[in-house]
Structure formats: structure tokens, C-alpha cells
Amino acid sequence: MSGALKDAIRVERPAKTLRELALDKVREAIVNGYFRPGDRLVERDLCAQLGVSRTVVREVLRHLESEGLVAILPNKGPIVAQLDIDEAKQIYEIRGALEGMAARLCAERRSPEIVAALEESLAGIRNSYRDNDMAAVLTNTSSFYHTLFTMVDRNVAWGVVNLLTVRINHLRSMTIKTERRGIEGPLQMSKIVDAIRRGDGEGAYRAAMDHVAAASAIAEAVLSAKKLAE
């Protein structure tokens, strides 16, 4: 049997273990608001809803705990983590530092491929805004930063940013819907790309920082408004 054929025949195996599937499901459910912050996550209920055993559910909950998405109260069990405003600001700050770093590295590499890839993601974002498809805006924004990090082989930093980002996901979806964000957001991101194109490391750094700083400010306003409403 030829090697090529063997590859062609290869069955697309799920490869994902049940645990990973369950993990994704629950994380999904948390980030898109099916479980609200503060909700209790009763193990046996989750077993029923997911159709898996308690062992799996427990492993999933531990994993999400270490991601910061669920908190485990002593003698009371897991709840969906609340995020307070200060923590959110810290997360934005860290993202600023790391994304700024990645942007600087991209600029210093002076590679047309990087610019092209970023432009493509950026176009995707603009289109999604035009179509008013906010979910697509989020995924395209993620892919923009994903290329920013992976084009300069910074997968660890990308992992850190990703980890932090899920914790503020519902904030992201709120900031994105804000008035004017549909114009200013892509504008700021194109400044990042411009700086990278002309090899301006410092400029790229500043532009990336500015972008998350703006997001952070909006998030803060949104959060404190919500707190007042209660």
C-alpha cells in the first residue's frame, strides 16, 4: 500500500476524549452565558445534562477551576466565577503588555507574510461588523491576535492571553457592541498593522497597548454601570 493512499484513507478520528468534549461544552456554556456568574454547578446535575459520569465532570470542573472560570467554595462546591472590575482591568493590562510585545516582534521581523495575514484578519473583522455578526467579530479578533503571536513563534504567550481572555469573554462581547467600537476598534488595529508594515517596533507596541487600553476603559464603564443598576 502506498504512503499517499494510506494518508488519503486515514479516517478522521475524533481523537478528542470524552473529557475534552465535556470540557469544551461546559466552557462554552459559561462563556456564552448559559451559566451565569455565581451559579452553582452541581456535579450530579451536570452529569445528567452532559450525559457523562461524575468522574469526568469532576475532572472538567478542576480544569476550569485552574483556568479561573469556576471557583470552588470550601464545603459548598463549584460556582461560576464572578469577575470583579479590578481583576478585569488587570487582565486587560497583561494583555496589553503581551500583545504589545508580540506586535513589536512582528514589526522587527519586517515580513510581508505577517502583514498580509494580519490584513486578512482585519478585513474579516470589518466584514463581520458590517454584517452585524458579533460572534464573528470575536472569532476574527481572536484570529488577528493569534496570527500576531504565532507568526513570531510565541505560542506560550498566546496560550497565556487565551487563558486570560476566556475569563473576560462576556465583557468582550459587551465592549464590542458599544457604539463607535465598530469604527474605532478596526481603526486602532489597522494602526498596529501600519506600524508593523513600516517596521516601527515602538509604534506597534504603543498601538497595541492603546487598543486594549481602550477596550479596558469601555469594559470598566460597562461594569460599573452594571454594578450601579443592581
Partner DNA sequence: CTACAGTATCTGGTACGCCATAATACGATT
Partner DNA sequence: AATCGTATTATGGCGTACCAGATACTGTAG
Distances, alpha carbon 201 to alpha carbons 113, 151, 154, 161, 178, in Å: 17, 15, 16, 20, 30
Stretch of 30-38, 52-60, 140-148, 207-215 lying at the interface with DNA (CB under 7 A): 52-60
157 makes contact, choosing from a copy of itself, DNA, none, with CB < 5 to 8 Å by partner type, with: a copy of itself
Distances, alpha carbon 147 to alpha carbons 43, 74, 114, 190, 202, in Å: 37, 40, 8, 14, 19
Residue 53 or 155: the one with the smaller Cβ distance to DNA is 53
Residue 38 or 159: the one with the smaller Cβ distance to a copy of itself is 159
> Residue 132 — left, alpha, or beta (φ > 0 → left; ψ -120 to 50 → alpha)?
left
- Least distance between a copy of itself and beta carbon 188 (Å): 20
- Least distance between DNA and beta carbon 3 (Å): 18
* 172: phi then psi, degrees, rounded to nearest 5: -60, -45
- Least distance between a copy of itself and beta carbon 129 (Å): 30
117 neighbors 144 (Cβ within 8 angstroms): no
Binding site for a copy of itself (CB under 8 A): 15, 17, 19, 55, 58-59, 62-63, 65-67, 74, 86-87, 90-91, 93-94, 97-98, 101, 153-157, 160, 164
